[in-house]
Amino acid sequence: MVELRFHGHSCWQIDHGEHRLLIDPFLGDNPKADIAPGDIDRLDAIVLTHGHFDHIADAEEISNKTGALIVSNFEIATFFEGKGCKAHPMHIGGGRQFPFGHVKFTIAHHGSTGPGGESLGNPMGVVLTLGDRRIYHAGDTGLFLDMQLIGEVSGPLDVALLPIGDNFTMGVEDAARASKMLGARLTVPMHYDTFDVIEVDAADFAARVEAQGGKARVMQPGESLQL
């Protein structure tokens, strides 16, 4: 069994057997997060989709405390190695089997500048395969037609985690279209309502997905989902 717990914004904790992963930790500076960085006591890996602060903010602290391996693009992995973290560099299109599961990075259309203006490579999405369960986290991105390819090549996807907040990423309409292209069994929205500029109606997103024959679930920080 795989359990996904939503920690707000684009941060997800994924438990699979004895293994625990974290994607895009943004906890300490996110008033809507349900936990603080210090609450995570054990962790195998932190997967980072891109260098923006609302995706990497707590990676250094959590990695150094738990010994979790940071898995990201070459530039981000090197950036965190420079801060004393354990890191494994990968890049778009590359996959690798780790003890905690299989990680494969996809494209995403966005930016990836670090908190201090560092050039942290290209933004990515990620497909995680844990046992017989498959999860797609889109990172921050606009809609792109290759999502169809991600659904075909990596699929079937059990869940697609998609940004819907508009302004910086896909909005509700484009994300509903993305959901159809990916063909995931379940779509869960993220990256909305954290800041004023990305306030959207998540129920409207869910209704659009359901209207096209899909399944969507809106989750609050602290809620879990079992696959």
Report if residue 61 touches Mn ion, rule: CB under 5 A.
no
CB 31 → Mn ion: shortest distance, Å? Answer: 16
The answer to whether residues 60 and 69 touch, using CB atoms and an 8 Å cutoff, is no
CB within 8 Å of 18: residues ≥ 6 apart: none
Given 58, 60, 61, 140, the residue binding Ni ion (CB under 5 A): 140
Q: Is the Cβ of residue 190 or residue 227 nearer to Mn ion in the bound state?
A: 190
Q: Is the Cβ of residue 140 or residue 158 nearer to Ni ion in the bound state?
A: 140
Report if residue 54 touches Mn ion, rule: CB under 5 A.
yes
User: Looking up tokens 């891109």, which residue turns up?
Assistant: 50
Which H or E run contains 226? strand 224-226
**Which parts of 70-99 interact with Ni ion (CB under 5 A)?**
none
CB 172 → Mn ion: shortest distance, Å? Answer: 16
Report if residue 174 touches Ni ion, rule: CB under 5 A.
no
Q: Is 144 helix (H, G, I), strand (E, B) or coil?
A: coil
Taking the C-alpha atoms of residue 127 and residue 129, their distance in angstroms, rounded to an integer, is 7
**Which parts of 145-164 interact with Ni ion (CB under 5 A)?**
none
Q: Is the Cβ of residue 114 or residue 183 nearer to Mn ion in the bound state?
A: 114
- Regarding beta strands 101-107 and 124-130, do their DSSP bridges make them parallel or antiparallel, or are they unpaired? antiparallel
Report if residue 52 touches Ni ion, rule: CB under 5 A.
yes
Out of Mn ion, Ni ion, none, what residue 20 binds, judged by CB under 5 to 8 A for its kind, is none
Site size with Ni ion, rule: CB under 5 A: 2
For residue 176, the tally of other CB atoms under 10 A from its CB is 26
**Which parts of 135-164 interact with Mn ion (CB under 5 A)?**
140
Taking the C-alpha atoms of residue 223 and residue 225, their distance in angstroms, rounded to an integer, is 7
CB 19 → Ni ion: shortest distance, Å? Answer: 26
Q: Applying CB under 5 A, which residues contact Mn ion?
A: 52, 54, 140
Binding region for Ni ion (CB under 5 A): 52, 140
